[in-house]
Amino acid sequence: MFNSNLHSTYEINAIAGRQQELGDRGDAPVAADRGLFVARMDEALLDAVLRMVKLLSHRIVRAIEWLKQHYAAPLRIEQLAATVHMSPSALHHRFKEVTAMSPLQYQKQLRLHEARRLIFTDHIDCAAAGHRVGYESASQSSREYRRLFGAPPRTEVARLRESGLPA
């Protein structure tokens, strides 16, 4: 089953990655037992945090949930916009503002992450995984997979298996 918290996971991973890059900056300005405190943030970390907070935007969250449920279907922006009661141009603009990508780019990432999971966990071939997540062309699926993950599906999944990393 497809992970419904995928986008939030991306944002949390972006924040955690930025935090690791920054390293330890010394003691927190307040007692460690507090849930919140104020500290300086660099621009990249602030950007990741703000994008995550903006996910609370009700209509965009509904659009994201719709995309997660229908990622394998052809995307029609007009249908998605009507579903969340927005104009297509307003949806596109606001969606990109919140997620840093267009609805089509977001759908592609959902498809490719699900294809990766299918190849890795279900041991199905790349073409079948691409078809199952909505690609009509195996070459298009493979090309977009390589663009996102940096290697062709077989190579990248073999690397994951060797390293013991989860897909």
Query: Does residue 88 share a domain with residue 29?
Result: yes
Using DSSP, state whether 61 is helix, strand or coil: helix
The predicted pLDDT at position 46 comes to 83
Query: Does residue 115 share a domain with residue 91?
Result: no
Res. 1: pLDDT tops 50 = no
Query: Does residue 30 share a domain with residue 63?
Result: yes
**pLDDT one-digit tens code per residue, 30-77:** 555 555 567 788 888 888 877 766 654 888 999 999 999 999 999 999
Residue type, 68: K
**pLDDT one-digit tens code per residue, 127-138:** 999 999 999 999
Query: Does residue 46 share a domain with residue 72?
Result: yes
What's 27's DSSP letter?
S
Range of the domain at 122: 106-163
On whether the pTM is more than 0.75, the answer is no
The predicted pLDDT at position 2 comes to 43
The CATH number linked to 158 is 1.10.10.60
What's 31's DSSP letter?
-
The predicted pLDDT at position 19 comes to 52
Higher pLDDT, 7 or 113: 113
Q: What is Dmax (Cα atoms) for the chain? A: 56
The predicted pLDDT at position 39 comes to 75
Report if residue 83 sits inside a domain.
Answer: yes
Query: Does residue 89 share a domain with residue 14?
Result: yes
Cα(133)–Cα(113) distance, integer angstroms: 9
* Total domain count, the chain: 2
Higher pLDDT, 115 or 35: 115
Question: How high is the mean pLDDT of the chain?
Answer: 81
The predicted pLDDT at position 20 comes to 52
